Amino acid sequence: MSDAVSFDKASTEAGTDSQVVIPVSRSSVGERVLSIVVPVFMVLLAIAAWQAHIMINQVPRYIMPAPLDVVNALFTDWGTLAPSLLVTLRITMMALGIALIGGVGLAIILVQSRWIELALFPFAVILQVTPMIAIAPLLIIYMPDTQSALLTCAFVVAFFPILSNMVAGLKSVDHNLLNLFELYGASRWQTLIHLKLPSSLPYFAAGLRIGGGLSLIAAVVAEFAAGSAGKGSGLAFRLLESGYRLNYPRLYAALVLLMVTGVAIFTLTSLISWAMLHRWHESALKREN
């Protein structure tokens, strides 16, 4: 084995390029700080401009509220807005959860055989291309209650991108790796767990990010169409209600909550995909050249 040892040393030398640590220079630290400061500053600037516009031109509150009025409404109307936010959040998250389970599950079934795919894919496509807002009123009739109708709408919309991404991912497994698994006599189940699922993680991440954003939009749009009311109503109903009552600060406050929710979902799904991929996948790697 003395042979092997000397060789060992040589190969370590040959492979040192993978261990070179690139020191973080001061300019790149400054760049990082700026990359946070600049967008935050721009948003604050836009809000300030908005506030200035309202104050200088004396725009009445029932046409457009000032940012301070909106902040004020957020606090005073929190009692009505918070339960609605929870309703919308719950529908969004449940829809996304069911869409993830259903999308991944159906994708796995679809790729098992071409016949299953041919048989089931038309339904998936029809569901996808039908404008959800057009079938929302029907769902209200068919579903036992408004909540489950909204949930169905949000699910249908979030489901398709996850399904089609997963199908693409499961199908684009490295052919040589499939051969390798075959060579070692891997079972269908082993190939799925150890090869197909991990190699479609990048596609899953893409589906998750798209589906996460869409499920929130769908939950809001469906509620617009369904027009739910009472204690089970979400943020979309608060938007409509405040509009009818010309309570624009509250309408804007509801909008702000929706935006914050959307950004939060985006951040969360991006974090999840980063956590899954950062160690190995090109899309999550930092480029140095």
Only segment of 2-10, 104-112, 120-128, 138-146 that touches other proteins (CB under 8 A):
2-10
Stretch that binds other proteins, among 35-43, 49-57, 65-73, 278-286 (CB under 8 A): 278-286
Q: Give me the least distance between CB of 9 and other proteins, in Å please.
A: 8
Minimum CB–partner distance for residue 197 and other proteins (Å): 10
CB of 3 to other proteins, least distance (A): 6
Evaluate whether 134 touches 218 at the Cβ level (below 8 Å). Answer: no
Token pair of 249 as six digits: 């600060």
Nearest in space to 159 (alpha carbons), one of 92, 94, 96: 96
Q: Kindly indicate which of the ranges 63-71, 110-118, 251-259, 276-284 contains the residues binding other proteins, using the contact rule CB under 8 A.
A: 276-284
Give the whole-angstrom CA distance, residue 193 versus residue 170: 11
**Residue 183 · residue 138 · CB < 8 Å:** no
Report d(CA 69, CA 253) in Å as an integer. 9
How far apart CA 127 and CA 135 sit, in angstroms, is 10
- Closest approach of other proteins to the CB of residue 269, in Å: 19
Q: How far apart are CA 135 and CA 226, in angstroms?
A: 10
Q: What is the CA radius of gyration of the chain?
A: 26
Choose the binding region for other proteins from 96-104, 122-130, 192-200, 213-221 (rule: CB under 8 A).
192-200
Tell me which stretch binds other proteins (CB under 8 A): 82-90, 105-113, 197-205, 216-224: 197-205
Say whether residue 286 binds other proteins (CB under 8 A). Answer: no
Look-up of token digits 């401009």: 49
Q: For residues 5-24, which are near other proteins according to CB under 8 A?
A: 7-8, 10-12, 14-15, 17-18
Among 72, 128, 147, 199, binds other proteins (CB under 8 A): 199
In the complex, minimum distance from the CB of residue 190 to other proteins, in angstroms, rounded to a whole number: 6
Compute the distance between CA of residue 259 and CA of residue 3 in angstroms, rounded to an integer. Answer: 64
- Interface residue with other proteins among 53, 188, 194, 245 (CB under 8 A) is 194
Considering only residues 163 through 182, tell me which ones interact with other proteins, judged by CB under 8 A.
174, 176-177, 179-182
d(CA 11, CA 18) in angstroms, rounded, equals 12
Report in angstroms how near the CB of residue 110 gets to other proteins at its nearest. Answer: 23
User: Residues 204-221, buried b or exposed e (16+ Cβ, 10 A)?
Assistant: bbbbbbbbbbbbbbbbbb
Distance of CA 132 to the CA centre of its chain: 19
Minimum distance between the CB of residue 99 and other proteins, rounded to whole angstroms?
A: 24
Q: For tokens 């949930």, name the residue.
A: 151
Tell me: does residue 2 bind other proteins (CB under 8 A): no
**Which residues of the chain form contacts with other proteins (CB under 8 A)?**
3-4, 7-8, 10-12, 14-15, 17-18, 174, 176-177, 179-186, 190, 194-195, 198-199, 201, 279-282, 285
